Structure 1
């Protein structure tokens, strides 16, 4: 019997993941979701304070960059804080901060990029983030916030290229 004449046999391996997690996943409990949303609503008034703490960390990282340079470990720290802030801005209801922190993250994400970056552009990003928080500019629907974010992004693209 040649290879072509053999009947085709399909082998379906057992789904071991179902066994490991204990079968089907139960549907989400609407009451649990409601409790979580209520708890989140109670914490909303603290969002600005928490975001301010993160911006303080960003400013401290900038001070170390100003003292030691972007290519030092301070540049790595600045990237880490900016990256964290990028994720937290929208969570804390400041998507404009997320946008600006994303631009800053792209600017300083690698050592090669940091060698090209003028510290003044980093300072502009940090200042814009602080101003957005101080002035309670949450979204890019605010004309000044949008213009500032666009200008920062344009400068980053000119220096390190467009995002991939």
Structure 2
């Protein structure tokens, strides 16, 4: 069924109004700043948008690309996704640094335990040496070797 000139004008006005709303960030629930939502908001089928009003679809995509290139995000969910991805990347790098620091701390801990074990062995050796020097000395009294 062919559209009258009045119907075509009304449909084109609805598509242009929907383009302006979507690019202004007025995204309907369950929609996005895309061609599918544009067709639904304009009250036409997506196929009709591609066939009959292809120039308006192209205009929408061009204006959306221009807005994105200028740093604007018409769809707040897309901006949120970008923020969350950046936040996730920061957290991932922070986690990697934390794992590296933890590995270094574990290594230092192991070195400190080894040093303490060596010092304990040295103390035990010195105590054994003291008892072999003067086994008859009372407890707590150390006899010094004579020069």
Considering the TM-score relative to the shorter chain, is it more than 0.5? no
Query: Highest Rg: 1 or 2?
Result: 2
TM-score by length of 2: 0.24
